[in-house]
Structure 1
Amino acid sequence: MHIPPYYKKPSWQRFFAGAFIGACIAYFIFVYMHGFMYEQLMSENKDLQDKVSELENQNEALLEDKQDLDKKSKEPLTVTSVEITIENKDELKLDKLIIHDLQNLMKEEINHIIGQKVSVIDESAKLLISSLENKEYTVDELTYVFTIKKLTISKTLKITAEAEIGDSA
């Protein structure tokens, strides 16, 4: 039995070339779609991990604070959570994952204020601002320095910061 030599005919050569090019294009489209979906899943996973860790820290601090406050008849206003916003993330073209990492690093720096009285935080606002501005945060081999533009002290401490790429030396 003999297999006919189809590869010598121009019509079959065009068919095989088209099939090969189509397979290459399909493979690149598949790789692109897979990467895009993977990035979305990673971003969602990072969001959920951030929320869980923030809630755990908040819960621990509030439980400790509640035990102290049960002894007192008046309950002063306390800080329950921290929200950090980076203003110029579009100008620096920061990725969502880098933004999450930077926000986490800043939250870890001031994590001790959760459960503290608002009046105490208000008295030491300049110290809080200087502690955030004087620290360099390193993510993916880049060093970032922040300038605090707005600080709102209430049950939720809201910080609006502007990022700059610092010296990595």
Structure 2
Amino acid sequence: MHIPPYHKKATWQRFFVGTFVGAVIAYCLFIYMHGTMYGELLEENRDLKANVSELKNQNDALLEDNKNLDEQSQESIKVETIEITIANEDELPDSLIIHDMEELIKHEINHIVGKNVSIISESDSLLKATIEDRDYTVDDFTYQFSVDTLVIHQTVKITVNADIAT
């Protein structure tokens, strides 16, 4: 079988050259489009990796913070300070002794500092009785206190009324 010599005719030569040039242009266009698309995908991939890395770091930080909060919530709250307020201080004969009275009450219940708030709140009536059942002597006067309010937290706040004991 014999192949006809089409490559010698000018029309067929133009056709083959046009096909070859078209194939080269199509290949170049394909490479350009593929490269552009691949570059955009690489850029998007890097952005997504950066976001994933940032979110992992944020998640680790939040998990660590959650763990610390869990540990803190499991730790019991302890009494740190005691604040005494005398509600009727203007009715007392001498306003200079108020500080001494507050110090005497603080000295009487100072043992609760450092104790768990839950333990102190369970025995609040005992704390009230400790303050109310004792007579406090300041400058030749004896005072008795009655507890008005008692707030138990990290700072125990006690409001008392002072009366001169008879």
C-alpha displacement of 1:93: 3.6
**5+ unaligned residues in a row in structure 2: which ranges?**
1-70
Aligned counterparts, 1:23-62, within 5 A: none
Structure 1 Cα separation of the partners of residues 102 and 89 of structure 2: 12
1:1-169 equivalent positions in 2, closer than 5 A? 74-96=74-96, 98-167=97-166
Q: Higher helix share goes to which structure?
A: 2
- Equivalent-residue separation in structure 2 for 1:92 and 1:120 (angstroms): 34
Q: Which residue in 2 is equivalent to 1:20?
A: none
SS across alignment from 1:135: coil
Query: How far does residue 108 in structure 1 lie from its aligned partner after superposition?
Result: 0.5
CA drift of 1:143 comes to 0.1
User: Per-residue displacement from partner, 1:74-123 (whole Å, max 9, x unpaired)?
Assistant: 42111100000000010124323x11111111001000000000000000
Structure 2: how far apart are the matches of 1:155 and 1:80?
A: 5
Secondary structure, aligned partner of 1:146 = strand
The Cα shift of 1:165 comes to 0.2
Equivalent residue of 2:127, what SS? helix
For 1:142 and 1:133, locate their aligned partners in 2 and report how far apart those are by CA, in whole Å: 16
Q: Percent identity at matched positions?
A: 47
Return the letter of the residue paired with 2:84: I
C-alpha distance in 1 between matches for 2:118 and 2:159: 20
Give SS of 1:90's match: helix
Q: Distance in 1 between matches of 2:75 and 2:103?
A: 29
Following superposition, which runs of at least 4 residues in structure 1 exceed 3 angstroms of deviation? none
Secondary structure at 2:91 match in 1: coil
Structure (1 or 2) with the larger CA radius of gyration: 2
RMSD of Structure 2 on Structure 1 (CA): 1.4
Distance between the aligned counterparts of 1:92 and 1:110, measured in 2? Answer: 23
Write the distance in 2 (CA, Å) between the matches of 1:94 and 1:140: 10
Aligned equivalents of 2:160 and 2:103: distance in 1?
Answer: 14
Distance of 1:166 and 1:125 partners within structure 2 = 24
TM normalised by structure 1 equals 0.54
